[in-house]
Amino acid sequence: MDVKTAARVFEVINLFAEVRQPMTYSEIARRTEIPLSSCHALLQTMVAKGFLYAPGVKAGYYPTQRLLHVARDICSQDPLALVFQPLLAGLRDATGETAALATLAGNRVVYLEVVESRQKIRYSDEPGGFMYVHVSAAGKALLGALSVKARRRLLDSCEPLPLSTDGSATERNALEQEIEQGLEDGWHRSTGENVEDVAAVARGFLINGEPFALVIAGPKARLLKHEHSTVEALLETYKQIPASLLG
């Protein structure tokens, strides 16, 4: 369950990231559907903490540089990023496709790190992006990393399973069989279920009991053409994860 005030802070920050211009508190309230009085109080608190400022009497509010500096300081010492950024860069270079590290956020997949392909036509995403577990290679790999009991409990929380990109429904039993087959193979695949014309392969694993997945994604035709070598690079990168982290 969301904590309302905390959720509203992130809604305001995300709104500025989308609009990228100063906004009055009434406009912010309208776009976020926060009551006017609550929105005004929230914005004043963010001003008092140094995260917003008023660029002019009637110009409204805009984030200060403090948000950038705080985020940069935090991210610079992310223990997993320090390990996985070079691994993902190497995986991107070995395959030519976008590489990512994913984990679970409730019953959805979220990317923690993304190293995009250098090719002009590529799969593009960013950290913090969400997707459904049942239509993505990352989600299947993460589900596979869980115990059977935990996996079924998570899938129960997703039902009814949302439709795939093409509007087709996912059969629960078929999904669980696909996850089991992926565990036997050592990797999981998706072919356009989440994003049309995008395919991905992923390898799931546990860190301190929590599920994570290495992911490679790209244009479906190109990735499937080179799937064998892509999977080889994926599994080789997995072997490079420090043993002290796994488990």
Higher per-residue confidence, 89 vs 135: 89
| Alpha helices per DSSP H over the chain | 4-19, 25-32, 36-48, 66-76, 79-95, 137-145, 148-158, 172-185, 220-225, 227-239
- pTM listed for this prediction: 0.80
User: Per the structure block, which two tokens stand in for 102?
Assistant: 């994913």
CATH architecture classification, 4-71: Orthogonal Bundle (1.10)
Q: Specify the domain boundaries for CATH 1.10.10.10 within the chain.
A: 4-71
Instruction: State mean pLDDT over 78-89.
Output: 91
pLDDT (tens digit, 9 = 90+) per residue, 139-167?
999 999 999 999 999 999 988 888 777 66
Q: Could you tell me which residues are beta bridge partners of residue 217?
A: 98, 200
Local confidence band at 207 (pLDDT 50, 70, 90 cut-offs): very high
pLDDT score of 1 more than 60: no
Q: Do 98 and 122 form a contact (C-beta atoms < 8 A)?
A: yes
Q: Do 130 and 158 form a contact (C-beta atoms < 8 A)?
A: no
pLDDT score of 57 more than 70: no
Q: Which residue in this structure is represented by tokens 């999981």?
A: 188
Instruction: State mean pLDDT over 204-213.
Output: 95
Cβ contacts of residue 218 below 8 Å, gap of 6+?
A: 95, 96, 97, 98, 117, 119, 122, 123, 198, 199, 200
Closest CA to 202 of 88, 108, 118: 88
Q: Do 199 and 188 form a contact (C-beta atoms < 8 A)?
A: no
For position 184, what pLDDT does the model report?
A: 96
**What DSSP state is assigned to residue 133?**
G
For position 2, what pLDDT does the model report?
A: 55
User: Per the structure block, which two tokens stand in for 179?
Assistant: 């996850």
Q: Could you tell me which residues are beta bridge partners of residue 219?
A: 198
Q: Do 187 and 239 form a contact (C-beta atoms < 8 A)?
A: no
- φ, ψ (nearest 5 deg) of residue 121: -100, 115
Please provide the average confidence, as pLDDT, over all residues in the chain: 90
Q: Specify the domain boundaries for CATH 3.30.450.40 within the chain.
A: 78-239
Tell me which CATH homologous superfamily contains domain 78-239.
GAF domain (3.30.450.40)
